[in-house]
Chain A
C-alpha cells in the first residue's frame, strides 16, 4: 500500500484500475531543409487540420461542460491563428532553413516562457495552453493525424499533466478520476474536472508516475487529495463505504436543490450558510443556501501582515455581494481577541481572554479600524443585499455608539458623493446572556438578531470553550440557553425585527423543531449542513 498526496479539485471518491496516460508526443528533431516554402505550406495545412479538430472538441465540450468552459477551445483556435505566433514559425523556418516541426516547437517554448515569466498565476497557467496547441499542430503534421486512441474499460487516468483538450477528449464515461503529477488549481483541466463532476487530484508529484503500473487498484480521495495505490481490503471497504455515503449525500442534494425550506404545515424558514472567506462562496452556491447568514470578516485581517486597507476590504466585500447575486449577505465586523490573535494589533496578554478585550470592544476603543471597515462595507453595499452584524454586544450604550459610527460613515460618504445602499440591515449577535436579557431594549434599535450559540453557551454556563476538561459540564441543550433564545425571539418579533441562529446549534437537527416553534426566522449553518437541514425542516409538522 503506497500513498501520495496532492490537491483535490473535485471532492468525490473513486476506486478503480490505474491507467497511465500515454501521450503521442512526437520527438521533434531539428532538420535542415532546402525547400522552406513547402515547410510553410505544411504548417498551413496542419493548422487547418488542428482547427478542425479543435472545433470538434469545442462542440463536445459545449455539450459536456457548458459554453463558459468550452470557450477555452475557441481561444485555442484563435491562438493557432495568432499573427505573432505564425510569423515566428515562418521566420524560424525561412531564416534557419529548418523543418516545420522544429520551428513550431521553438515558437511554443518562446511563447510559453513569456507566460511563465508573468507574475500572475492565472497567466502562468496559460503556458500549458500554448504547449497544447503546439503539440497538436506538430501531431497534425505527422501521418497518423494526431487522433486519440479508444477502448471501453473504466479507469483512473494518471498523467504528468493534462492539457484541457486532452481532458475533454477522454471519454467521460470511461474516466473514474483524474490524477496529475503537476498542474495548478487555476488550470483549465482542474476547472473542467470540476464541471464534469469527476474526482480529480492535482500536483501529486512526479514519483507517482514511476510507482504506479497500469491495472493496479487505486483509491482517489478528492476530499483529502490522498491517492492510495494497491490498498488492503479493509481500506477498500472503508473507501467504498465513504463513497456510498457520498453518493447518498449527492442524491439528497440533487433531490432537495431548488426546493423551499418549508414545513409540512407551511411554515417557511430561511436556511443560510456560514463562511469564513471569499473562497467559501462556491460551497454556499453548490449547497443551494438562500444567502450568507454569517460572513466572518476576520480572514481579511488574519491573512494580512498589517491592517487591511479600505480598498482591499471593499473589493472582498464587493466580490461576495456580486457572487451572491442579490441574495442576502450578512457580514460580521471584526471579531478577534480571545482565541483569535493577530500580531499587528499588539493586544495585551490577558489572564482571561474570553472575558477580555475582543470583538466590538476593540472596534469601539480603536475607532479608526472600525471606521475603515464600515466605510468599505457601505461602499460595497450597492452591489447586493448587505446586512452588517456586530459581535459581543452587552449594552444599549454600545449599540448607540455603533449606530453613531454608522451614521458618521454614511454622512461622510454622502458628502464625498460616494454611493451606498439605503436598505443595509443592521443587526447584532446575541451571544452574551446580557444581550439576551435586555433584548427588549436592543430589538427596537436593530433590523435583526443572530444568536451565536457557541459563545452564548460558554458565557451562560461559565464554561471556557478552550478547556476540554469541562466538556462533561457543557450541555448545549441546557434549558437556560434555550430560554435565552426564546426570550430574544419574542422580543425581536414584538419590535418588528427578525431573528436567526448562526452558531453550531443551528445545525443540530434534534433542536430544529424547538427553534421553529420559537419562531426563529433563519438558521445559518456551514454549507454541507444546508441540505440535511432543509430535509429536516421539510419533514416537520408544527400543527401537531
Chain B
C-alpha cells in the first residue's frame, strides 16, 4: 500500500485525448492491414534492412524508455531509498504499458507470429548462443512481472470500495500478494538487468556490419547504463508533466535527488565510449568529416549537456530546466539506439531503408494507446500521490 496514492478522479475526454484516440484508431487499421497484406506490402523492410522502426524504436528504445519501473525499483527496494517510494506506481505503470506495447510490436514484426508460443515452450530447442532468445524470454516474463507489481493498486481500489463486486476477493488477495511481492520485485530488477544489456549484445553478432564507432565489446554495458538513465529521465518528465496538467505541487526536491544518480551514469557512459574508442585506435573516426562522426558527437552532446546541467544544485531545482535536461537525456538514448540498430548498420551500398507510412502509423498508434491507457488508469486506480495545489502556484513555477 502506498500512503497517499489515490485515483485522480473521473476520466473525461478532452481535445488531447480525442486526438490520441484518433491516432490509435488509425494505428489499429494499419495493424489489420499488416496482418492481411503481409510484411512486404505494409513495411519498407527488405533483405538488407530486415529490422526497422518497430525493432529500433518500439522494442529497443521503447523498453529502455520504459525502464523507469526498473530504475525506481532498484533505488527503493535494493538501495533502500524509501524517499522515492511515491514514484514507484507511476513508474511501474509506464513500464508495464511500454513493455506490453513492445510485445504487441514484436508480434506484428515477426513474419510467423503464430509460431510465437514455441519460443517459451520448446525449451529443448533453446539456443544458448542466442541473445535474442534471452531478450524474448526476459521481456515476456518481465511484462507479467510488471503487471503483478502493479496489482496492489487495483487491489487497493477494490478493497476500499465495499460496493465493488471484487471487494471480497481483493481483500482476500491483498495479504498473499503483498507477501509474495518480494520475489516478484527481485525478479523485476533481475530481468531488465539481463535483457537491457542483451539488447546491446544483439548488435555484436553483426560484427563488422556495424560501424566501428558503435561496434564494441562494451555494447551490453552501454545499453544497460543508458537504459537506466532513460528510465529515470522518463520518470522525471512524467512526474513534472502530470503534476503540471493536474495542477499539483511539484516534487522538485525529490526529482532533483534522482539527478544525483543519473550524473555518474552519464559520466560513466561517455567515459567508457571515448576510452574504448581510444584503446581500440578508432578515435580518429570521430574526427572524420562524415555523418557517422556528426551523429556520434550529437549523441555525446545529448548525454553530456544534461549531466552538466543536473550536476548544478540551483539549476536542477528549477522545474523547467530539469524537464528539458531529462528530455535531452531521453533523446540522447533514443538516438544512440537508432544509430546502433539502423544508421550504423551497413548491409551494403545498394540497400536502403526508410520506414513506410504503415510502420510509422502503427508506431504512432501504439504510443497514442500507451498515453491514453496511462491517463485512463491513473484516473481510476490509486497510482499517483500528492494533493491538488492551487493552480496559481503551479503557474508560478513556470512549466
A and B assemble together: no
- Residues in chain B within 8 A of chain A (CB atoms): none
- Residues in chain A within 8 A of chain B (CB atoms): none
